């Protein structure tokens, strides 16, 4: 009976999400509308959509598990998230203005425009998709833990992941159907449950832990320290994961497209301001629950399950509500990732191969559907991985952060060239891949730097060296100057002259 009630609660939540999307009955007329929701949403939808993409369901599981298992280092989530919203404010004008002026649909589309290169566009899109795939699988795994826990012992971890894959695949019918517009509408519903209800539940958990003998004094002394010179991880490990998270924040295709769905620069900046307190309070509350609960023997034995272990103390209703929070956050992140990957596959692979701008939204729908099936297969074959899920998230970041120099130099510095961008992205990604195989967690002889941060040094060096050795030709410099005038309001610019 408990399992039926819990599963019934999740089912009712799914019905609510689908009803909200069906109620709009929005149909996209062009691929651009399908990929960017017609650049039509205001700050309230924008805020919840950004948070629902930025804070995935695995925050309740793998990130909370890091705080429960290793202590204060788990709060790095909050630190790099604050850096991400600050960058959102800085990126707002050039990205929105270029996107609107030149009908940009994806992050790779923008990089192709900035560098005047289809090769840059394809490589950036490929890195984005490859790095995002593990994150989607992580989301499906996280949802599997929900269904395993809500079965109260009747369903094992493997079958639970299979169920989660089926649920996400079913939910994707509406993402495929309604594109980014559907994602934005569902993010509002999912976000209210995941972050507002989630924060209330986390606050109640904190009060319960503090009053039941699980206060700060009961947390082990080791949980209050960061990795030092004599630690296994190395003294630079904490700095590395914060730097990777902050620098990689706007390299994620699903996060970046949020700058294209807004109806104005002012909306993006209001979104950044509104998202800051939500993310800070929610992220801190989740990490604090996990930190305090580390003194529970069950949590020490299974840190990734800390959210559910504590929720169980409140009975069936609380466990079900806690599970709905995870479901809401997971569906938002996974749906946005699948939509973004599908849009990039259609826009930046099919479009480049066919040497045309994709305009039919059906191409996007097919691409999203195919990507969903591929991710479902990947999740199925990794369904036996049920612990230590934070490793998948960290591996994804090592790859995606290799877009950062090309992205940020490209937006804020005129001198970067297409050759520099290609050299930087390829050398950085390959270096990160090799180092990740050799040193899965951190690199001892570099003081604990992660593979991604070490590769960034190679990446940036390649970018600067190639740019300085072979600067822009006069015609290309003139094109870049015209592009800069768009967001500096220095006069009209012809789309045909600068767009690739």
pLDDT tens, 468-478?
999 999 999 99
CA distance 77 to 283: 7
The pLDDT-based confidence of 57 (bands split at 50, 70, 90) is confident
Tell me the per-residue pLDDT of 101-155, one tens digit each, with 9 for 90 and over.
999 999 999 999 999 999 999 999 999 988 888 778 777 777 887 888 888 878 8
Q: What is the pLDDT of residue 489?
A: 57
C-alpha dihedral, 190 to 193 to 194 to 200, nearest 10°:
170
Q: Which residues pair with 41 in a beta bridge?
A: 262
Residue bearing the bigger pLDDT, 391 or 75: 75
Indicate whether 496 pLDDT > 50.
no
Asked whether the beta carbons of 400 and 130 are under 8 A apart, the reply is: no
Asked whether the beta carbons of 401 and 244 are under 8 A apart, the reply is: yes
Q: Which of 1.10.150, 1.10.357, 2.60.40, 1.10.4160 would CATH assign to domain 2-388?
A: 1.10.4160
Kindly give the residue spans of alpha helices, DSSP state H, lying in 104-156: 107-115, 118-150
Indicate whether 67 pLDDT > 80.
yes
Tell me the per-residue pLDDT of 252-271, one tens digit each, with 9 for 90 and over.
999 999 899 999 999 999 99
Strands (E), 388-495: none
Asked whether the beta carbons of 73 and 238 are under 8 A apart, the reply is: yes
For the chain, give the mean pLDDT. Answer: 88
The pLDDT-based confidence of 490 (bands split at 50, 70, 90) is very low
Render the burial of 304-341: b for 16+ CB within 10 Å, e for the rest: bbbbbbbbbeeebebbbbbbbbbbbbbbbbbbbbbbbb
Asked whether the beta carbons of 291 and 68 are under 8 A apart, the reply is: yes
Indicate whether 424 pLDDT > 50.
yes
The pLDDT-based confidence of 382 (bands split at 50, 70, 90) is low
The pLDDT-based confidence of 375 (bands split at 50, 70, 90) is confident
Indicate whether 215 pLDDT > 60.
yes
Percent of the chain with pLDDT over 70: 95
Q: What is the pLDDT of residue 495?
A: 41
Number of neighbours of residue 422 by Cβ within 10 angstroms: 21
Q: In the 8-state DSSP scheme, what is residue 419?
A: H
Indicate whether 497 pLDDT > 70.
no
What mean pLDDT do residues 293-322 have? 92
Smallest CA-to-CA distance from 139 within 62, 50, 48, 246 is with: 62
Number of neighbours of residue 290 by Cβ within 10 angstroms: 30
Smallest CA-to-CA distance from 375 within 228, 70, 166 is with: 166
Q: What is the pLDDT of residue 385?
A: 58
CA distance 364 to 369: 9
- The two structure tokens encoding residue 411: 């937006």
CA distance 461 to 442: 21
Q: Give the range among 69-73, 314-318, 333-337, 412-416 with minimum mean pLDDT.
A: 333-337
Tell me the per-residue pLDDT of 227-248, one tens digit each, with 9 for 90 and over.
878 788 889 999 999 999 899 9
CB within 8 A of 469, min separation 6: which ones?
none
Q: What is the pLDDT of residue 393?
A: 62
Cα maximum dimension of the chain: 73
Residue bearing the bigger pLDDT, 500 or 78: 78
196: left (phi over 0), alpha (psi -120 to 50) or beta: alpha
Tell me the per-residue pLDDT of 398-416, one tens digit each, with 9 for 90 and over.
889 999 999 999 999 999 9
Tell me the per-residue pLDDT of 441-484, one tens digit each, with 9 for 90 and over.
889 999 999 999 999 999 999 999 999 999 999 999 999 999 99
Percent of the chain with pLDDT over 90: 55
Smallest CA-to-CA distance from 326 within 84, 138, 166 is with: 138
DSSP run (H or E) holding 415: none
The SS3 call for residue 30 is coil
| Residue spans per domain, the chain | 2-388
The pLDDT-based confidence of 294 (bands split at 50, 70, 90) is very high
What mean pLDDT do residues 265-292 have? 95
């Amino acid at each position: 009976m408990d399992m039926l009630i819990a599963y019934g609660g999740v089912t009712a939540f799914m019905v609510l999400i689908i009803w909200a999307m069906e109620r709009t009955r929005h149909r996209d007329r062009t691929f651009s509308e399908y990929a960017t929701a017609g650049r039509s949403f205001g700050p309230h939808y924008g805020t919840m959509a950004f948070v629902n993409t930025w804070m995935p369901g695995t925050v309740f599981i793998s990130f909370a598990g890091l705080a429960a298992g290793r202590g204060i280092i788990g709060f790095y989530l909050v630190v790099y998230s604050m850096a991400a919203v600050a960058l959102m404010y800085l990126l707002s004008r050039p990205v929105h203005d270029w996107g609107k002026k030149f009908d940009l649909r994806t992050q790779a589309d923008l990089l192709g425009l900035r560098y005047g290169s289809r090769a840059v566009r394809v490589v950036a899109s490929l890195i984005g998709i490859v790095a995002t795939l593990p994150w989607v699988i992580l989301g499906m795994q996280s949802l599997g833990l929900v269904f395993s826990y809500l079965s109260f012992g009747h369903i094992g971890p493997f079958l639970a992941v299979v169920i989660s894959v089926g649920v996400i695949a079913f939910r994707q019918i509406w993402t495929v159907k309604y594109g980014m517009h559907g994602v934005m509408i569902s993010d509002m519903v999912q976000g209210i449950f995941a972050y507002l209800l989630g924060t209330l539940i986390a606050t109640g958990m904190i009060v319960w832990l503090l009053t039941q003998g699980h206060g700060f004094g009961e947390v082990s002394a080791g949980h209050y320290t960061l990795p030092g010179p004599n630690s296994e991880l190395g003294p630079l490990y904490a700095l590395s994961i914060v730097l990777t998270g902050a620098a990689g924040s706007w390299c994620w295709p699903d996060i970046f497209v949020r700058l294209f769905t807004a109806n104005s620069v002012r909306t993006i900046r209001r979104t950044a301001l509104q998202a800051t307190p939500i993310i800070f309070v929610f992220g801190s509350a989740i990490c604090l629950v996990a930190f305090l609960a580390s003194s529970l023997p069950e949590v020490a034995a299974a840190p990734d399950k800390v959210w559910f272990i504590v929720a169980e103390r409140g009975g069936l209703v609380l466990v079900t509500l806690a599970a709905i929070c995870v479901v809401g956050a997971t569906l938002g992140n996974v749906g946005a990732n699948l939509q973004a990957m599908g849009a990039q596959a259609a826009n930046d692979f099919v479009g480049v191969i066919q040497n045309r701008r994709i305009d039919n939204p059906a191409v996007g729908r097919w691409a999203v559907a195919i990507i969903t099936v591929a991710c479902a297969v990947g999740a199925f074959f990794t369904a036996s991985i049920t612990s230590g899920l934070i490793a998948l998230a960290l591996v994804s970041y090592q790859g995606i952060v290799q877009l950062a120099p090309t992205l940020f130099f490209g937006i804020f510095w005129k001198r970067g060239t297409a050759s520099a961008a290609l050299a930087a992205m390829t050398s950085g990604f390959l270096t990160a891949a090799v180092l990740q195989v050799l040193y899965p967690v951190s690199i001892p002889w570099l003081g604990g730097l992660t593979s991604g941060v070490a590769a960034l040094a190679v990446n940036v060096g390649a970018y600067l060296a190639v740019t300085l050795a072979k600067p822009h030709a006069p015609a290309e410099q003139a094109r870049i100057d015209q592009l800069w005038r768009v967001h500096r309001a220095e006069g009209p610019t012809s789309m045909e002259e600068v767009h690739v």
